[in-house]
Amino acid sequence: MSATERKILEVLSGKTITPPPIWLMRQAGRYLPEYRETRARAGSFLDLCYTPDFAVEVTLQPIRRYGFDAAILFSDILVIPDALQRNVRFTEGHGPQMDPIDADGIRKLASDGFMAHLEPVIETVRRLRKELPNETTLLGFCGAPWTVATYMIAGHGTPDQAPARLFAYRHPEAFEYLLDVLSDMSATYLVAQIDAGADAVQIFDSWAGVLGEVEFERYCTRPMARIIASVKAQRPAAKVIAFAKGAGYLLRDYRQKTGADAIGLDWAVPLDFAVELQKDGPVQGNLDPMRVVAGGRALEEGIDRILEKLGHGPLIFNLGHGITPQADPAHVTVLVDRVRSFGR
């Protein structure tokens, strides 16, 4: 099978495939016992991300177990601020932390040489493309500038991203400069992943849902468009999935404004609205991860509704966000089998 016959690439080109191809956000993660074993051997979380032996292994684990149609590079959205020397660390029970940045620090940011810091990640991509089954799409990724900036401003995750929102109101020029720096670094990083063997890339804007309409346009749509335009200018055949979690009806013209090839949908996006979005091109999503935890009828009904509504157009079946550590691996097997029985 050639690269052009990888099912997810076909969908990203606008083709409808029955049953739809499937992968899951965070498909390599703590719900899998083999992941927990590898994580323990790796030491720190960043060591897991930056050591190709470990990162390749955990990326391949869900492919071996479930045969997903795509593998997504195992890394983290915060490797870019780590490359900017923001002292990123992951503390058990507290999530990611880093040194918070202020307006003066933003003006002093220097991104020269950041790709040298990220070379282990690129090496992981190279090795994955060689080790994956030929029919499996390899996805690279990065965090969207708004989402990455929220961590950089606060120094940690917050429920409503109030520190970043307040900073953006008080220091609009410095904040937009930060978004521009992150956009340009992200584009360079994604092109390097594509050159190393990634078939397509996804950009995660996990905190898009906390913004109002004006701010969403300024802090989410504009930077996403900047990244995608840069990537496609350098690699015209590149395929990009844009995932703006929580954006709701602000997604109505998001594809057109950003240039994304596919739109990722979280589980709160109404399926009737998703059908309208699918008329303009491929969509990805959008099962509630809690249905995977619940299993049984809740899981089956959720899968069936999505397939009934979206399975007759270009669809990549996925969750509406990442799989949670509480998920039973056996429920994922049920999910994969049920999706793959659609239309048969």
Q: Take residue 5 and report the two structure tokens written for it.
A: 């016959």
Q: What is the pLDDT of residues 137-152, one digit of tens each?
A: 999 999 999 999 999 9
Predicted model pTM: 0.97
pLDDT reported for residue 1? 44
pLDDT reported for residue 2? 55
151 belongs to the catalytic site: yes
pLDDT reported for residue 3? 58
pLDDT reported for residue 40? 95
Q: Take residue 68 and report the two structure tokens written for it.
A: 């997903």
Q: Which of 6, 26, 255, 291 does the annotation list as catalytic?
A: 26
Cα separation, 130 vs 248, whole angstroms: 38
Q: What is the pLDDT of residues 2-27, one digit of tens each?
A: 555 899 999 999 999 999 999 999 99
Contact 149, 182 (CB under 8 A): yes
Q: Which of 31, 35, 50, 151 does the annotation list as catalytic?
A: 151
Would you call 289 helix, strand, or coil by DSSP?
Answer: helix
Q: Which residues 6+ apart lie within 8 Å of 247 measured at CB?
A: 205, 208, 209, 216, 220, 254
Neighbours of 51 (CB within 10 A): 18
Helical packing angle, 222-234 and 145-154, nearest 10°: 120
Cα separation, 211 vs 162, whole angstroms: 10
Cα separation, 50 vs 48, whole angstroms: 6
Dihedrals φ, ψ of 324, to 5°?
-95, 160
39 belongs to the catalytic site: yes
Q: Take residue 320 and report the two structure tokens written for it.
A: 């509406």
Cα separation, 165 vs 177, whole angstroms: 15
Cα angle: 321, vertex 325, 329; to 5 degrees: 95
* Segment holding 287, helix H or strand E: strand 283-287
Cα separation, 12 vs 322, whole angstroms: 20
Helical packing angle, 296-310 and 271-278, nearest 10°: 30
Residues of the chain with pLDDT under 50: 1
pLDDT reported for residue 4? 53
pLDDT reported for residue 94? 77
Q: Take residue 145 and report the two structure tokens written for it.
A: 């500038």
| Closest residue by Cα to residue 76 from 19, 120, 112 | 120
Q: Residue 244 forms beta bridges with which residues?
A: 205
Q: What is the pLDDT of residues 219-253, one digit of tens each?
A: 999 999 999 999 999 999 999 999 999 999 999 99
Q: Which of 39, 218, 255, 291 does the annotation list as catalytic?
A: 39
What is the DSSP code (8-state) at residue 236? T
Cα separation, 222 vs 208, whole angstroms: 12
Q: Take residue 195 and report the two structure tokens written for it.
A: 């050159």
Contact 161, 237 (CB under 8 A): no
pLDDT reported for residue 170? 98
30 belongs to the catalytic site: yes
Q: Which of 30, 89, 235, 338 does the annotation list as catalytic?
A: 30
Q: Which long-range contacts (CB under 8 A, 24 or more apart) does 85-90 make?
A: 86/152, 88/46, 89/44, 89/46, 90/44, 90/45, 90/46
Q: Which of 69, 76, 82, 288 does the annotation list as catalytic?
A: 76
Q: The domain 3-340 is classified under which CATH number: 3.40.30.120, 2.60.120.430, 3.20.20.210, 2.40.30.200? A: 3.20.20.210
Cα separation, 10 vs 190, whole angstroms: 20
Q: Take residue 69 and report the two structure tokens written for it.
A: 């149609």
Helical packing angle, 52-66 and 119-131, nearest 10°: 40
The mean of the pLDDT values for the chain is 96
Q: How far is CA 326 from CA 24, 62, 295, 302, in A?
A: 15, 16, 11, 18
* pLDDT > 90 in the chain, percent: 95
180 residue type, one letter: D
pLDDT reported for residue 193? 98
